[in-house]
Amino acid sequence: MPKLYSGAEIVFKCLEDQNVSHIFGYPGGAVLPIYDELKNFNSIKHILVRHEQGAGHAAEGYARSTGKPGVLLVTSGPGATNAVTALTDAYMDSVPLVCITGQVPTHLIGTDAFQECDTTGITRPCTKHNWLVKDINDLAEVMHKAFEVATTGRPGPVLVDIPKDIQFQKSKYKNYKKNKKLNGKSHDNYSQKNIDELINLVSKAKKPIFYTGGGVINSGTKASELLRELVYATGFPITSTLQGLGCFPADDNQFLGMLGMHGTYEANNAMYSCDLMINVGARFDDRITGKIDEFSPKSKKVHIDIDPSSINKNVKVDLAIVGDIKSVLTSTLKTLKKSKNNFSKSNKHQISNWWEQIQKWRSKRSLDYIGSEETIKPQYAIERLYELTKDKDTYITTEVGQHQMWAAQHYKFNKPNRWMTSGGLGTMGYGLPAAVGVQIAHPKKLVIDIAGEASVLMTMQEMSTAVQYNLPIKIFILNNEYMGMVRQWQELLHDKNYSESYTAALPDFVKMAEAYGCVGIRAKTPEELDDKIIEMLNTDRPVIFDCLVDKQENCFPMIPSGKPHNQMLLGPKDQKEKKITGKGRTLV
C-alpha cells in the first residue's frame, strides 16, 4: 500500500518538487497544521514577516529578482484579506506568486465562522486563478497546477485556499506531469509570415523605435540578451517603460531613457514622430500613451506580447505577434540575419536623419535640474547613490511617488531583474518588503530601497523582519515631509491647495532605526551626502538612511494628463507657461 500523507505534508512535498527554497508567511489558526509540518522539511526556509501584505511584496521582490515564483503562506480571514493588495499588485505587474491560505474547516464554510472570509471570492478578480480545495485527493494536483498557471503564459498570482480539516486528512501523493497545453491554451501563436512582415517593416522604416516593457524581463535573461542583439543589429533607438528598465543598458547611446508621463523628452518625442513602433512586451498603459487619440499618429505599430488580450486593448496595432518574447526575438534575429546580413550598416543612411532629430531632442537635456549648495536636491541624491553603487551589482526597489520616478530617471540599470517597482497598481509601501524578498534571494548582493518617507511608513514594520534574518537592506529615504507626488499634482491642478499632503509629526527615522535594532544615518547637506552614503554602504546591517531633501522639488519632465507626447512640461518655467486647463484636471 502506498504511503499516505497529511494535507499539510502534501503542501510541502509539492513545494519541494517545485524547487521552492523560501516561503514568506505569517501563522494563524487555520494554517497551524501546515506550520506544524515545517520542521520536517529542511529544504524549505520560512521567513516570518510582520504583516501579510509584507509577505506578498517580499514574495514579489523575490520573484522579480530571480524569475522564479514567489510563495506566501497566510492564514484565513484577515491573513487572506491583508494579502489582497500584494496579489493585486502582482496581477497588474505580471509577477508569478503562489499564495497558500488556510481556511476554516469545510463543515464551517458559510457559517460566518471565526476568521472566515470568502477568500476565493475576494481574490477572484486579482488572481489568474484560484482554488478552494475541498477534497484531500485533489490537493497535490491543485498545488502543482497552481505553479503551472502562475508561471506559464503571462505570469501572475494564483491562490490555493486549504480548509483546516483538509490539512489533517490523509491521501496518496503523486508528482505531477506537466501538460503541454493548459486547458487548450497555447502561448506561441505566430507564424514565420508574421516575422517576415516585421522584417519588411523594419527594412522600410525611416523613423523607427523600439518600445520595450516588463514582458522582456518576464521572458528571462536570455530575452534581454536577444533584445540587445536585435537593437544593435538594427541600429534603431530604443525606449523602455518603467517595468522594462534594465533589459537594455541605460548608458548605451541607442537608449533614449524611459518614456511616458515622466519619461525623457527625446523618448516621448520619438514615440510621437516615429513611423514604425515595435512594442516588445509592453501594454500601451495610459501612463505611457498619454492622450490616446493623439498617440503616435503617424506610425505603423507592431506589438509582440504573450497575452493575446493585450493586443488592440488600448491601441490598435498593424501587426500583432502573439508569443514568448524570447522565441519571437530568436526567430526575428534568425530571419534578419538570413535576409539582410549587416543590416545596421546598410541601413545606417536610411535612419541617419532620424538620429539627427533625436540628438536635437536630446540636447534639451530634459532630466537636468537646478542644483543647490544648501539643500540636497532629490535628483542629486539619486545620482550620487548611482555613482557610488554602480560598480556593485546593485538591486533597487522603490516605493511609489516622486522618488520612484527620480530613481527611474537617474539610476541607470544595465541588467534585467535589478529593478523592482510597483508600476501598474502603484502600491505605496511596496519597496521595503520587496527589498526583504530580494535580499533573501541574493544574500550577498547590495539591495537598496529608494523610498519616500510617506510610502515607507506604510510597511515600516518589515524592518523587524530584516533585523531578524540579518538582511542588510538599505532604506534610502528621500524625505521631503510631503506626499510629494500628491503635492505636485495639487500644485499643478488645484491652485497649490496642499490638502492633507503634508505629514506632520513624522517619526525621527534615525531613532526609529535604532529602536528596530538597525542603523540610522541622516544626511542634511549636499556636502556630507557622499560620506554618509559611503557610511551606509560600509554598514553590513540593515540601514535606514534619512536623506533630507528639497521640500518643493517637482518631478520633471512630465506629460500633463490629457496631453499627447509632444506637449511635455520640461521644468518649473515651462509649468507656468503651459498651465493645465479644465480638461486635464479630471484625468489624474
Partner 1 sequence: MANSKSAYSFAGKKQKPDTHIIVVWVDNEAGVLARVVGLFSGRGYNIESLAVAEVDQKQNISRITIVTTGTPQVVDQIKLQLKKLVPVHKVADFKREDKNVIFKEMALFKFVANNGKLNKAFEACKNFNPVILDQTNKSNVIQITALRREIDTMSKNLKKFGLVSVSRTGAVAMTRGSEIFK
Please give the residue ranges that form the binding site for partner 1 (CB under 8 A).
120-121, 124-125, 128-129, 132, 134, 149, 182-185, 286, 289-293, 295, 307-309, 311-313, 315-316, 561-562, 583, 586-587
Nearer to partner 1 by Cβ, of 333 and 588: the residue is 588
For the bound state, the minimum distance from the C-beta of residue 286 to partner 1, rounded and expressed in Å, comes to 6
Q: Phi, psi at residue 229, to the nearest 5°? A: -60, -45
Nearer to partner 1 by Cβ, of 81 and 503: the residue is 81
What b/e readout covers 361-373, taking b as 16+ CB neighbours within 10 angstroms?
A: bbebebbebeeee
Q: What is the DSSP string of 16-68?
A: HHTT--EEEE---GGGHHHHHHGGG-TT-EEEE-SSHHHHHHHHHHHHHHHSS
- Here the cell at position 432 is 521595503
Nearer to partner 1 by Cβ, of 16 and 307: the residue is 307
Nearer to partner 1 by Cβ, of 37 and 305: the residue is 305
Q: 3-state DSSP: the chain helix, strand, coil percent, rounded to 5?
A: 45, 15, 40
Q: Phi, psi at residue 523, to the nearest 5°? A: -120, 130
Three-state SS for 240?
Answer: strand
For the bound state, the minimum distance from the C-beta of residue 142 to partner 1, rounded and expressed in Å, comes to 11
For the bound state, the minimum distance from the C-beta of residue 418 to partner 1, rounded and expressed in Å, comes to 30
Distances (CA, A) of 377 to 459, 478, 521, 548, 551: 25, 9, 18, 9, 9
For the bound state, the minimum distance from the C-beta of residue 129 to partner 1, rounded and expressed in Å, comes to 4
For the bound state, the minimum distance from the C-beta of residue 294 to partner 1, rounded and expressed in Å, comes to 8
Three-state SS for 165?
Answer: helix
Rounded distance between C-alpha atoms, residue 7 and residue 140, angstroms: 9
Comparing CA positions, the residue from 113, 128, 102 lying closest to residue 34 is 102
For the bound state, the minimum distance from the C-beta of residue 272 to partner 1, rounded and expressed in Å, comes to 14
- Examine residue 125 and say whether the peptide bond preceding it is cis (omega within 30 degrees of 0): no
Nearer to partner 1 by Cβ, of 187 and 415: the residue is 187
- Here the cell at position 441 is 534571494
For the bound state, the minimum distance from the C-beta of residue 91 to partner 1, rounded and expressed in Å, comes to 12
Nearer to partner 1 by Cβ, of 125 and 443: the residue is 125
Comparing CA positions, the residue from 502, 513, 517 lying closest to residue 545 is 513
Three-state SS for 256?
Answer: strand
For the bound state, the minimum distance from the C-beta of residue 130 to partner 1, rounded and expressed in Å, comes to 8
Fill in the DSSP letter of residue 138: G
Q: What is the DSSP string of 471-498?
A: ---EEEEEE-SB-HHHHHHHHHHSTT--
Catalytic sites, residue numbers: 52, 114-115, 164, 485
Rounded distance between C-alpha atoms, residue 477 and residue 431, angstroms: 11
Nearer to partner 1 by Cβ, of 129 and 415: the residue is 129
Comparing CA positions, the residue from 325, 452, 471, 453 lying closest to residue 395 is 471
Q: ∠ CA 140-146-148 to the nearest 5 degrees?
A: 105
Asked if 149 contacts 178 with a C-beta cutoff of 8 angstroms, the reply is: no
For the bound state, the minimum distance from the C-beta of residue 297 to partner 1, rounded and expressed in Å, comes to 9
Comparing CA positions, the residue from 336, 225, 63, 64 lying closest to residue 72 is 63
Nearer to partner 1 by Cβ, of 390 and 583: the residue is 583
Comparing CA positions, the residue from 309, 250, 322 lying closest to residue 279 is 322
Fill in the DSSP letter of residue 371: -
For the bound state, the minimum distance from the C-beta of residue 125 to partner 1, rounded and expressed in Å, comes to 5
Distances (CA, A) of 179 to 153, 176, 326, 330: 13, 9, 21, 24
Nearer to partner 1 by Cβ, of 242 and 320: the residue is 320
Nearer to partner 1 by Cβ, of 39 and 180: the residue is 180
How many other β-carbons are positioned within 10 Å of the β-carbon of residue 62?
A: 30
